[in-house]
Chain A
Amino acid sequence: MVFSAPVLNYTLLSPMLILLGGALIGVLVEAFMSKALRPITQLSVTLGSLVLALVQVWRIRNEQSMTAAMGSVVIDGPAVLLQASILIISIISVFLIADTEHFTALAASLPGSEEERHAMQTGSQVTEVYPLTLFAVAGMLLFPVSSDLITLFVALEMLSLPLYLMAGLSRRRRLASQESALKYFLLGAFSSAFFLFGAAFLYGYSASVTFAGIRESVVGGGGNDVFLLIGIAFLSVGLLFKVGAVPFHAWSPDVYQGSPTPVTAFMAAATKVAAFGAMLRIYYTSFANAQWSWTPMLTVIAIVTMLFGSLVAIAQRDVKRMLAYSSIAHAGFLLSGVIALNKAGLEASIFYLFAYGIATVGGFAIVTLVRDSAGEVTDLNRWKGLGKRSPWVAAAFAGFLLSFAGIPLTSGFIGKFSIFSAAYESGAKSIVIAGVLSSAIAAFFYIRVIVLMFFTDPVEDGTSVEIPSALTSITVIFSMVVTIALGVFPAPVLNFISDLATFIR
C-alpha cells in the first residue's frame, strides 16, 4: 500500500490553524502559568489569535480554491465573508467573556461545595473559557467551508463540544447553568445522530461524501430518490437544530437563559453565522437541483419558525428568554434566504447574518450590565424605568431592539428588506407574507420593552446598572455604530458582499 502525503494549502487554511494553535497555547497557559498572570495572558492569546486570523482572512479574500485540503475544504468569496463575520463577532464576544464576574471560579467543583467556596474566597479563577472559545471558533470557521460530509460533521462537533462546556460555566445559578449544558449536550448528540444518519443516506444515494459528488448525482439523476430525500431531511434536522428552527428549537431558550450571558451572546451570534453558512453552501451547491424536494419542507419550517418565535416571545418575562425566542424568529427569516436560492438570497443572508450577529452581541452586552447584588437581573419587570436611571444604556438597548424589529435606519431593516425581496424574487411569496406578518408581531414585543424602559416609572428594588468596563463599552459602542452605519450607509458593505458572494462548485 502506498501512502501519499496530503497536499495542504497552508495559506488558505491559516485562519483555522492560527486559532487551533492559539487554543493549544491557551491549554498550556491554563496548566502552567501562575494564577496572577493567567487571565491577561489568556485574553491576549485569544484576542491575538482572533485578530491574526481575521487579518489572514482579509489577505486571502480574493482566493478561490476547491483543493485547499485535498478537496475537503473550499475557500471562496462566501467562505471569506462568513469567516470574517464569525471572527469579528467572536472578537467582540471575547470582550464580554473577559469580564470574569460571569464565570464560575472553579468549573470542576460541585455547586455549593466546600471547594467552590474556597475558590471564591481565595479569588482564584480558572480561565479555560478562552481556549474553549478558540476551539469553538475554529470549528465555526471550518463549518461553512467544509466541502464533504465528513469534514462537515467534524466541524459540527468541533464547534458544539466546547459550547456545551461553556454553557455550564455560569457563576450564578450554577445548577441551572449545568442543567442547560447537559440539555444542550444530550439534544445536540441526538441531532448529530440524525445528521450522521442523513449523511449515510446521501452516501448511499451518490456513492460520494463530497458536495461536488452529491451535486453530480443530483444533476445526473437516476439515483434512488428516496435515499436522497431521506438524506436531505435528516441532514437538515442536524443543521436546523443548530440554527434553532422549530421544531428543533426547544433547547435554545433554556440554554440561552442558563448560560453565562457572554457565552449566550457568542453562541447566539457566531453559531448562527456558522450554521447558516454551512446550510447555504450545501443547499446552494449540492442540493440546488433537487429544489423541488426540499423547498416545500423548508418553507413550512421557515413560516412556522417565524410565527412561533414571534408569538412565544410575547409571552416571555425574562429578557434572555425573550431574546432566545427572537433569535428563533430570526432563524425563520434567515431560512427564507436559503429558500430563495438565488444570488440575491445569498448576499442578503450573509448581510443579515453579520448585521444580526453584531446586534445580538450588543444586545446581550447590555443584558450583562443590568444587575443587582445577586448578579444579572433578567426579569423584564425589573427593567422598568431603566431609561430614566441609565438613559444611555437603555437607549443602546432600544437601538438593538429596533434593529431586531427591522425599523428603518438600522441594519435590521436593510437585512430584512433584502432577504425578503430576494425570497419574493424567487417566487416564495407565502414566506414573504408570513415574514412581514411575524415581523409585525415581533415589533410588538421589542417595542414593549422600549416602552417598559422609557415610559414606565422605575421600581425601587436595588437593580442598578453596572458601569461598563472598557471592553464591554467597546463592544456596545462598536455594535451600535455598525448597526446604525449598516442601516444608514449599507451600500459599501452590500457592494462588497455582492462582489464576493458566489459559491464555487
Chain B
Amino acid sequence: MTTSNSLVYLIALPLLGATILLLAGRRADKWGHILGTLMSASSFAVGLYQLSQMLGRTNEARPVTQKLFEWISVGTFNVDAGLLLDQLSICFVLLITGVGTLIHIYSISYMSHDHDRRRFFAYLNLFIAAMLLLVLGNSYLNLYVGWEGVGLASYLLIGFWNHKPAYATASKKAFVMNRIGDMGLSFAIMIAFATIGTVSFEGIKEHAHHTSTGALTAIGIMLLVAATGKSAQFPLQAWLGDAMAGPTPVSALIHAATMVTAGVYLITRSNFIFDAAPTAQLLVVIVGAITLLFGALIGTAKDDIKKALAASTMSQIGYMILGAGLGPVGYAFAIMHLLTHGFFKAGMFLGAGSVMHGMNDEVNMRKYGALRKFMPITFVTFGLGYLAILGVPPFAGFYSKDMIIETAFNAGGIKGIILGTVTLLGAGITAFYMTRVMILTFTGKSRWDDEAHPHESPLLMWLPMAILAIGSVSSGFLLSRGDALVNWLAPLFEHHGEHKELLSPIVVSGLALAMVAIGVAIAFLKYSRQEVAAVAPEDVSVFTKIARQDLMQDRFNEAVFMRPGQQLTQVLVKTDEAVIDGAVRGVGQLAMGSGSILRGLQSGFVRSYAALILVGASLLIAAIWVVTK
C-alpha cells in the first residue's frame, strides 16, 4: 500500500488553528476568524493535492496510509495511530474541508457581531480536525477518537450561546444521547478485539471470513447503535431538533452536511462486517426506513425553519442509512446521496441563516412570507436546493435519491416492495414539507413583526450559498455520469454479481416524480391558496399535534428511559450511600485510626529509631533462621 507523509497535515492544520485560537485568547480576536478560515482552506488544498495524486494511480495503489506513532502496545494488543486515505475517505475529506471552508467564510460575516467569534472559529477548526480524524483513522480505535472529538465539538457549538439555559440544555441533551451511541461503538470495539483480536479495518476485513456470524452480528448491531446516535436515527433521533439551538452555520456544517453523516460512513466503512452479518444489515435497513418516514412526518408540522430542515436532515440520512443497509449495491448510492445532500442541505441551512439574519433572528416561518422580493439571492439559492432535495431532474437529488429508491425496490421479494414503497412515500412527504417551507418563507403575503426589515445578506454570506447552489445543481449529474462515483468506490466493496431489476429505472423515476408532484400539489392547495395564520392554529387534528411534538419522541424517552432511569439512580444512590460509602468510610476510619496509632512509632528520638533498626535486623535473622530450618 502506498504510504505518504502528508496525510497528517490534513488534520494538523485545523488542529493547529484551534490550538492557536484557544490559547491566544482575546489577543486573537482581530484575526482569529481569518486564521481559522485559512487553516480550513489549506486543509482543503491538501485534500485536493491528495486527490490529484490518487487519480494518477491505479485502483489498487490508490489507498494511502501513514503511520503516526505506536499508540498502544500491551501484550498482543497493538494499535498504531495511523491514517488511511482511500477512495471512500477522500470523498469525506473533500466534503468536510470544502463545505467546511465555505461555512467558515459565511461565518465571518454571520458571526461578525458576536464578541466571541474567535472562540467560535476555534471550535469550528476543532470540529474539522476531529471529523477528519474520524474519516482518516485506520482502525476503529482511531475512528473512536475522532468520533468523540466531533461529539465534543458539537456539544461546544450547540451550546455556544450557553447563556441561554435552553441552549445549554439542548447541548447537554445532544451530548447525553450521543453517549448512548458512543457506548455502542466502544462495545463494538471491545467485541472485535475479544473475538478477532484486532481493531484495524484491514485486520478485521482479513479475518471477517473466518469469524463466527454471531460475533459479526453483535459487532454490526453495536456499530448500528453508534450510527443511530451520531446520525440522529431512530431510536436515538430526539437530539437533532434541539441541536438547532447552535448558530446556523453550525447546523449547516455539523448537523446537516458532515457530522450527522458519520453513521453512514461508519456503516459503509464496516461493509465487510455487515456483508457477513445479514441480521445486522437488515436492522440497518429497518432503522433507515423508519427514520426516513419519521423525520419526514415531523417535518410537515414544524413552523421553526431550522427545525423543519433538521427533520428533513434526519429523513434524508434515513435514506442514506437505508441505502447503506442494502449491501454492496447500495453503499455507493448512500455515499452519493450523502455528498449531494451535503451540498443542498448545507446550502439551505445557510439560506435559512441568511433569512434569520435579515429578520432579526426570527425562526418562525409563520412570521415570514413574501421574502423573495427582498432576498432574491437567498431565494434563488434556497430554491435550487429545494429542487435538488425534491429530486427534480436534473438537480442533484434526482440522481442520488432515485438510485436509492431503485435499489430499494430491487432488494428483492416482499422486502423490496416494502422498502420501495416507503422510500417513495418519503419522497412524496419530503416534497410536501419542503414546498411548505418555500411557500411560507418566500411567497404569499408578508406576516412579519413590525420591527423586521428584511434585506439581502452581504457578499461573504451569499457567496458560499451560491457556490453550494452550484453543487446542488450539478453534483448529482457529475457524480453519476458514467457511474463515476460507483466505479471510483467499487474496489472497496465486495461485489455479488447478480443484479435483478424489479422495476426499470424509468418507471421508478416516473413513480418518484409522480409522488413529488402530489406532495407539491397538496402543499400548494393548503398553503398557497389559503391564508396562512401568523400564529400557529390550535384547532388542528390530533396527527398534527403529535407531529408538532416530534411524534412524541421526548415523551417516549421521558416515560421509558428518564423516569425509570431516575428511579433506578435514586435506588443506586441510596445503596451507594448506605452500603458502599459506609464500607469506604469504615475502611477510611479504620485506616485513619491505625495510621494514627502507627504514627506513634515516630517519636522523634534517634535512639528509638536505631532500636527499630536493630529490631528489624534481628527479625530478619530470625526469619532467615526459620526459613533455613
Contacts and interface: CB of A to CB of B under 8 A. Distances in A.
Contact of A229 (B595, B604, B613, B624): B624
Contacts of B606: 182-183, 186-187
Contact of A292 (B591, B610, B627): B627
Contact of B628 (A182, A226, A313, A441): A226
Q: Is the interface of A mostly helix, strand, loop or mixed?
A: helix
A489 B592 CA distance: 36
Given A297-B620, A313-B595, A491-B70, A187 B613 contact: yes
Nearest to B624: A229
Given A183-B609, A314-B592, A491-B70, 19 more contacts: A182-B606, A186-B606, A190-B613, A229-B627, A236-B620, A237-B617, A247-B613, A247-B616, A248-B613, A250-B601, A250-B602, A250-B613, A254-B602, A312-B599, A314-B591, A315-B599, A444-B591, A491-B71, A491-B73
Given A187-B609, A250-B602, A308-B598, A444 B588 contact: yes
12 contacts: A187-B606, A190-B613, A225-B628, A229-B624, A232-B624, A237-B617, A250-B602, A293-B624, A296-B623, A311-B595, A312-B595, A491-B72
A231 to B, nearest CB: 10
B616 A248 contact: yes
B69 interface: yes
A187 B610 CA distance: 6
Contacts of B608: 250
A250 B611 CA distance: 10
A356 interface: no
Contacts of A251: 609
Interface residues of B, number: 33
Nearest to B621: A233
B530 interface: no
A436 to B, nearest CB: 14
A183 to B, nearest CB: 5
A255 B70 CA distance: 43
In the complex, which of the residues A182, A230, A297 has the most CB atoms of chain B within 10 Å of its own CB atom? A297
Interface in A183-207: 183, 186-187, 190-191, 194
A420 interface: no
B613 A191 contact: yes
B598 A297 contact: no
A308 B602 CA distance: 12
B623 to A, nearest CB: 5
Contacts of A246: 616
Interface in B577-629: 588, 591-592, 594-596, 598-599, 601-602, 604, 606, 608-610, 612-613, 615-617, 619-621, 623-625, 627-628
Interface of B: 69-73, 588, 591-592, 594-596, 598-599, 601-602, 604, 606, 608-610, 612-613, 615-617, 619-621, 623-625, 627-628
A109 to B, nearest CB: 24
Contacts of A237: 613, 616-617, 620
Given A233-B617, A492-B70, A311 B627 contact: no
Q: Is the interface of B mostly helix, strand, loop or mixed?
A: helix
Interface string A227-263: 0011011101100010000111011011000000000
The 6 closest A-B pairs by CB, nearest first: A250-B609, A315-B595, A247-B616, A233-B620, A314-B595, A311-B595
Contact of B602 (A194, A253, A489, A494): A253
Interface residues of A, number: 45
A225 B627 CA distance: 11
Contacts of A229: 624-625, 627-628
Contact of B596 (A187, A247, A315): A315
Contacts of B621: 230, 233
Contacts of B612: 247-248, 250
Interface in A477-505: 489, 491-492, 494-495
Contacts of A296: 623, 627
A300 interface: yes
A292 B629 CA distance: 12
Interface in A248-280: 248, 250-251, 253-254
Contacts of B620: 233-234, 236-237, 297
B597 to A, nearest CB: 9
In the complex, which of the residues A225, A312, A444 has the most CB atoms of chain B within 10 Å of its own CB atom? A312
Nearest to B623: A297
Nearest to B606: A183
Contacts of A186: 606, 610
A297 B623 CA distance: 7
Given A237-B617, A254-B604, A311 B591 contact: yes
Contacts of B619: 247
A311 B620 CA distance: 23
A312 B72 CA distance: 36
Contacts of A315: 592, 595-596, 598-599
B440 to A, nearest CB: 51
A313 B625 CA distance: 33
